Structure 1
Amino acid sequence: MDDPGRTARLLWTHFEPVHAVTYFHPRARAAYEAVGLRGYWRGYFAGRAAPLGPVGAAPVVAAFFSFAPHMVARALPAVWKLATPEEALRARLTGAVQALAELTYELPEAHLVEAADLLETAAGELENSGRVLGAANAALPRGEYPLARLWQAATTLREHRGDGHVGALVAADLDPVETLAWKVALGTSPVNLLGRGWTEDQWAAARDRLTDRGWLTADGEPTEHGRTAFQAVEDATDAAAARPWRILGTDRTDRLRELLDPVARAAHTVIPPDSPIGLPALQS
């Protein structure tokens, strides 16, 4: 494995779509609604925060990173009066499995079993120290069926990677609004990112700070300095996520990528092109 960081990014493009069905598939949304979590953001905050237990807003603001505190506080801790964390966890797994079952019905069961086995093996090699969301998901009970195991492993891996990405952003002295403003400057559609609760004044101030740091020109265009500095963040994220793939080895990692490819492609059919979770294109 010549470049573990590149391998980590490559595998991310394959397991992230598997996780992402929980945000976008109608069956996933319906599962949340069935336990009383009506409205997209109630399901999102309850489902994603549930591995942490019945927490309030503060730790979720910190862990999720990109949402304005007042937006998180509208959902937490109030959602726990609608559904307990245990109910939210059952709903998110049920909805995700139903979504994946609909998307992968043409794949042989042996294909899904092998993919789940390998992805679970990779997730089992994670070092979760300092990775709060990754650790909380890793501690959940193992799924009973292949698609449940596949989705839970994908979720553990993506939350572990997300924890590492937040750490890299903090180390680069980027706050949440600056990070979002930078991504928009790079070409990410602002449509969904603007829905994270920050005010127009906060967006403008973040762009001003990026300009003062030399990341943006006066016209709001990315500078080479900014591109180089943010690439260092991405490289640090990849390097911190590489451990499972080094341990799994080239042959098993290549086999897992082959198995995940049709699952990820099917998942992409229900994920919006302007996805607010920053999902990259599937890489081969």
Structure 2
Amino acid sequence: MAELAHPARALWWLFEPVHALTYFSPEGRAAYEAAGLRGSWRGYFAGRSAPLGAVDAPPVVAAFFSFAPGMVERALPDVWGRATPQAALAARVSGAEAALQRVLETVKPHLIDRSVELLERAVDGLDCCGRVLAAANAALPRPEGRLARLWHATTVLREHRGDGHVAALVAEGLDGSEALVVRCALDIRREVLQPYRGWTDQEWDAATDRLTGRGWLAGDGSLSPEGRARHQALEAATDLAAARVWAGFRRSELDELATALRPISTACRAELPLLNPIGLPVSS
């Protein structure tokens, strides 16, 4: 694993692309369309929120955090008139499995099997208190087939980390739009991130003004020394919140998991758009 990164972060760098493949693969889009969810955002909001049931927009605005409320409201609850949560869940698994079947064709099967074994052990040890998305996904029946199981395990673990990250953002006093402005001040261009999350120019500029007024941003829009320190603190809090699940693993097991996951992750990352809103580093 990356020696300069917290183990929980180094592992996230590896398993996040496995989950994220479903948002960008043609197989994922086709599965949602076959279920009646035409358009990428209908599939996204239906598939990701389906573990919660046929919810309306407010809980999803809260749980997803960085999406503009208006963007969520355009999808929910409309999607439930097009597909039931059960149909959306079936579509996301079948689409993910089909995409992984193609993308991991040359990866040695024993690496996939060992990744599944260790990731599912981590999932079995999760404490999901305070983590709504993680708990909802962890409560779903474990799918059949090693590729579906691989995707499900990475999904539970990334939602677990994401719930903890949202808690860290809230503790730092950031709202959804402000969190994105901070991220763009670091390393992602606004024109990439803003459209993916649905905030208007007026809302984005207002968030920038608030952050400048609170000392997070310098006058040129870059992170101030205070903003950089606070961002580092919230990222450290995110890693700490994600670390407990790995405490029961020996270092040799974590290294083994990283070794097994690396070719899987590399193959999945190659399928993701170079410019995307996920926020992974360029290399891991």
Q: TM-score, normalised by structure 1?
A: 0.96
The match for 1:225 is 226
Distance of aligned partners of 1:189 and 1:249 in 2 relative to their CA distance in 1, 3 Å threshold: same
CA positional deviation for 1:5: 7.4
8 Å contact kept, 1:5–1:242? no
Q: Which region of structure 1 is more displaced relative to structure 2, 101-110 or 112-121? A: 101-110
Q: Which residue does the alignment assign to 1:206?
A: 207
After superposition, give the CA deviation of every residue in 1:5-63 in whole Å (9 maximum; x if it has no partner).
Answer: 70000000000000001101111111111111110100000000000000000000000
Cα distance change, pair 118–4 in 1 and its aligned pair in 2 (3 A): farther
Q: Give the structure 2 partner of residue 18 of structure 1.
A: 18
2:42 equivalent to 1:42: yes
Secondary structure at the residue paired with 1:227? helix
Q: Distance in 2 between matches of 1:280 and 1:140?
A: 30
CA RMSD of aligned residues (A): 1.5
Q: How many residues align?
A: 282
CA distance in 2, matches of 1:61, 1:280: 26
CA distance in structure 1 between the partners assigned to 2:140 and 2:277 by the alignment: 26
Deviation digits for residues 189-218 of structure 1 (CA, Å, limit 9, x no counterpart):
223321222221111111111111111111
For 2:45 and 2:127, how far apart are their aligned partners in 1? 25
Q: Distance in 2 between matches of 1:280 and 1:25?
A: 20
Question: Matches of 2:10 and 2:45 in 1, distance apart?
Answer: 27
Distance 1:189 1:272 in 2: 14
CA contact (8 A) 1:27 1:95 kept: yes
Distance 2:7 2:76 in 1: 36
Paired position in structure 1 for 2:270? 269
Separation of aligned partners in 1, 2:185 and 2:108: 43
Give the gaps of 5 or more residues in structure 1. Answer: none
Structure-1 residue corresponding to 2:280? 279
SS for the counterpart of 1:241 is: helix
Per-residue deviation, residues 66-112 of structure 1 (Å, max 9, x unmatched): 11111111101110111110100010011101111111111232221
Q: Where does structure 1 differ by over 3 angstroms across 4 or more consecutive aligned residues? A: none
- In structure 2, give the amino acid aligned to 1:204: D
SS in 1 for 2:280: coil
Aligned to 1:142: 142
Quote the Cα distance in structure 1 between the aligned partners of 2:230 and 2:16.
24
Contact 1:97–1:147 at 8 Å: present in 2 too? yes
Q: Which residue of 1 aligns with 2:65?
A: 65
In structure 2, distance between residues paired with 1:205 and 1:58? 22
Query: Deviation of residue 4 (structure 1)?
Result: 11
1:87 pairs with 2:87: yes
Which residue number corresponds to residue 192 of structure 1? 192
The code of the aligned residue for 1:257 comes to A
